[in-house]
């Protein structure tokens, strides 16, 4: 009788411990949702204060961005344009190169070469963005200046090039994953019909892996939008509505950095601009990430 009671007691204790462990773990997992809520609440409530002073149409459609000096003007288009200039430039460079590397790795390369290249890609992906900014400023820009003497010291072209180098590893490894998920039987079928390796790659493997390839492009695109330090070091701080990559521009991210480095007093319209611009940045990257992850998830389900 005594023994049974103590066993019961032990069981209860055990049950209680199990429950409290589960609860603690759950709270830790919940923290990620709190973070998201925090981001949304902070960005949009503070941006709300900005939109109390500036109409949202002036913000989204205005073509002058001069919040830090008179006459003040809060048209965000020059920043958006600057951001997309960098995104377009880096995409044009990184997407074909990344896909070509991935094709080589998954279709042609020996497994030994793959194994030795993967760490190199990981190192490239792990180099802090500030290092790429330095590289852009002191290596890429002088080379560009040699080719295009009219180039500005701070320019969109050199920033685009280093952002391309930055997103390249991500594109390569995601495309490589997608290509390797394509069943070999498809390739063998094409080879059996007499296709060359070029034809197999471009007409069988890549189309079959297309959703993964596109998802990798979208993720790279969103990385490039959010890229901050390299861009603010290399591309300059002049909000220009231009599509000329040789000129100095300002992106949304480098504007936010510029304000936080200055001494803008809390509570002014200038201060709230960082939340308005941040909210816009967050929305654009969130939408592209959600789309890309959904595509990635779907295509994983198809082949597994």
Partner 1 sequence: MSNLLEITPELRHRRRKSTAFRYVCMSVTWMSVVLLVLLLAHVTKAGIDWLDWQFLTSFPSRFPEKAGLKSALLGSTWLIGLTAAFSIPIGVAAAIYLEEYAQKNRLNEFIEVNVTNLAGVPSIVYGILGLAIFVRGMGLGRSLLAGALTMSLLILPVIILASREAIRAVPNSIRQAAFALGATRWQTTRHHVLPAALPGILTGVILAMSRAIGETAPMVMIGAAAYVAFMPESPMSDFTTLPIQIYNWAKRPKEEFQQLAAAGIIVLLVALLLMNATAIVIRNMSQKKGA
Q: Which residues ranging from 72 to 111 are in contact with partner 1 (CB under 8 A)?
A: 97, 100-101, 103-105, 107-109
Burial class (CB in 10 A: 0-12, 13-18, 19+), 140: buried
Coil, helix or strand at residue 74 = strand
Asked if 225 is part of the footprint of partner 1 (rule: CB under 8 A), the reply reads yes
Whole-number Å distance between alpha carbons of 81 and 162: 18
- Alpha-carbon distance of 57 to 75, in angstroms, equals 9
CA-to-CA dists, residue 26 to 19, 40, 44, angstroms: 10, 22, 27
Give min distance, CB of 200 to partner 1, in A.
9
Residue in 87, 256, 273, 299 binding partner 1, rule: CB under 8 A: 256
Q: Which residue among 3, 57, 69, 126 contacts partner 1 (CB under 8 A)? A: 126
Instruction: Pick from 17, 115, 203, 298 the residue near partner 1 by CB under 8 A.
Output: 17
**DSSP three-state, residue 238:** coil
Question: Looking at beta carbons only, is 64 or 285 nearer to partner 1?
Answer: 285
* Site residues (CB under 8 A) for partner 1, limited to 190-209: 196-199, 201-202
Selected binder of partner 1 within 137, 167, 175, 182 (CB under 8 A): 137
**Closer to partner 1 by Cβ: residue 12 or 63:** 12
The secondary structure of 122-164 as a DSSP string is HHHHHS-HHHHHHHIIIIIHHHHHHH-TT--SS-HHHHHHHHH
Among 8, 25, 52, 210, binds partner 1 (CB under 8 A): 25
Given the rule CB under 8 A, which of 1-9, 72-80, 242-250, 257-265 is the region that contacts partner 1?
257-265
Q: What angle do CA 165, 281, 235 make, to 5 degrees?
A: 45
Residue selected from 7, 10, 66, 128 as contacting partner 1 according to rule CB under 8 A: 128
């Amino acid at each position: 009788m005594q023994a049974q009671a103590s066993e019961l007691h032990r069981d209860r204790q055990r049950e209680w411990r199990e429950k409290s462990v589960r609860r603690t773990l759950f709270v830790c997992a919940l923290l990620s949702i709190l973070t998201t809520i925090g981001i949304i609440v902070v960005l949009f409530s503070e941006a709300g204060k900005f939109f109390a002073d500036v109409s949202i149409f002036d913000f989204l459609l205005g073509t002058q961005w001069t919040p830090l000096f008179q006459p003040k003007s809060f048209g965000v288009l020059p920043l958006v344009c600057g951001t997309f200039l960098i995104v377009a430039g880096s995409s044009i460079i990184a997407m074909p190169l990344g896909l070509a590397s991935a094709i080589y790795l998954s279709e042609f390369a020996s497994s030994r070469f793959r194994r030795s290249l993967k760490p190199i890609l990981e190192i490239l992906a792990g180099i802090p963005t500030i290092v790429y900014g330095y590289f852009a400023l002191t290596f890429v820009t002088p080379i560009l200046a040699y080719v295009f003497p009219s180039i500005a010291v701070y320019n969109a072209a050199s920033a685009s090039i280093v952002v391309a180098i930055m997103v390249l590893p991500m594109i390569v490894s995601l495309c490589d994953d997608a290509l390797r998920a394509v069943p070999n039987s498809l390739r063998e079928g094409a080879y059996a019909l007499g296709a060359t390796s070029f034809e197999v790659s471009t007409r069988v493997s890549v189309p079959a892996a297309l959703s993964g390839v596109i998802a990798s492009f979208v993720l790279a695109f969103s990385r490039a939008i959010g890229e901050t330090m390299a861009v603010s070091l290399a591309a300059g701080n002049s909000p220009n509505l231009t599509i000329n990559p040789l000129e100095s521009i300002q992106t949304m991210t480098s504007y936010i950095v510029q304000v936080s480095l200055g001494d803008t007093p809390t509570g002014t319209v200038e201060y709230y601009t960082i939340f308005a611009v941040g909210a816009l940045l967050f929305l654009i990257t969130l939408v592209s990430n959600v789309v890309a992850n959904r595509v990635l998830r779907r295509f994983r389900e198809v082949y597994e």
